[in-house]
């Protein structure tokens, strides 16, 4: 009797060990991921060198770029299930490499075929002090006497006409002048690829080229509050970015 009991006990322990050994370790699967978008700047395939009068506008003016500061917002990511929206606001500055990276977190896993965003701010948020109270955002205030809110973009530099250098300031703000951008790019967020890195390149000459050629001398070298000039630059801005 005792012998039978011992044999049964050994057999039970053996099968228990087999069952435990067959259990696969639990793998934690990500449910959301992240996207990092690095922004670089060029002028018709030439890297941006600030204040270097080595570039030419589409209508022939030698020009330089002093700074590009802008706000992007209203990111939307598209997949077969619909649209995932990000509510963040991002300040970018060509003079500061630390402010040319957009990091977006919490994107649901899945296959995506692109994303869109605004250069600028939707009207309901384009109000003084709605954005975070940082020096960057406060430095983008649009004058209250002109409606308040924020600059969407400041693009500044110098150009030459007839051997004479002049300054230009392409400042856009006011509701109705935000610039919609659409980037067609297939990518996936999953357990193996929880973070996706992209490079976007802004070709600065596209602000002056398509669909209309912008002329500093006839359209204006300082456009803040000039609806006709701001509209031209805003229309041209829809294709300033490419993506890698």
Predicted local confidence at residue 81, as pLDDT: 85
The 10 Å CB-count burial string (b at 16+, else e) for 143-177 is eeeeeebbbbbbbbbbbeeeeeeeebebbbbbeeb
Predicted local confidence at residue 14, as pLDDT: 40
Predicted local confidence at residue 30, as pLDDT: 61
For the stretch 111-153, pLDDT in tens is 999 999 999 999 999 999 999 999 999 999 999 999 999 999 9
pLDDT band at 52 (very low <50, low <70, confident <90, very high): very high
pLDDT at 56 over 80: yes
Give the whole-number percent of the chain exceeding pLDDT 90.
Answer: 86
Q: How far apart are CA 188 and CA 195, in angstroms?
A: 9
User: Residue 115 forms beta bridges with which residues?
Assistant: 77, 183
For the stretch 59-81, pLDDT in tens is 999 999 999 999 999 999 999 88
Task: Please state, rounded to an integer, the average pLDDT across all residues of the chain.
Answer: 90
Predicted local confidence at residue 17, as pLDDT: 45
């Amino acid at each position: 009797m005792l012998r039978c009991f011992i044999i049964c006990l050994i057999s039970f322990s053996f099968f228990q060990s087999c069952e435990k050994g067959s259990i696969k370790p639990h793998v934690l699967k990500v449910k959301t991921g992240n996207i990092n978008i690095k922004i670089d700047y060029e002028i018709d395939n030439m890297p941006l060198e600030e204040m270097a009068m080595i570039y030419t506008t589409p209508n022939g003016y030698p020009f330089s770029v002093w700074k590009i500061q802008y706000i992007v917002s209203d990111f939307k990511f598209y997949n077969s299930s619909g649209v995932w929206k990000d509510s963040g606001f991002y300040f970018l500055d060509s003079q500061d490499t630390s402010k040319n990276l957009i990091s977006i977190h919490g994107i649901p896993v899945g296959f995506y075929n692109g994303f869109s965003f605004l250069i600028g701010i939707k009207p309901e948020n384009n109000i003084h002090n709605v954005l975070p109270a940082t020096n960057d955002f406060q430095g983008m205030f649009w004058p209250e006497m002109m409606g308040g809110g924020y600059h969407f973009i400041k693009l500044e530099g110098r150009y030459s006409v007839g051997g004479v250098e002049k300054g230009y300031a392409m400042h856009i703000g006011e509701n109705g002048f935000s610039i919609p951008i659409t980037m067609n790019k297939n990518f996936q967020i999953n357990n193996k690829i929880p973070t996706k890195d992209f490079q976007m390149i802004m070709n600065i000459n596209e602000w002056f080229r398509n669909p209309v050629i912008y002329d500093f001398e006839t359209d204006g070298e300082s456009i803040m509050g000039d609806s006709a000039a701001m509209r031209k630059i805003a229309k041209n801005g829809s294709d300033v970015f490419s993506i890698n």
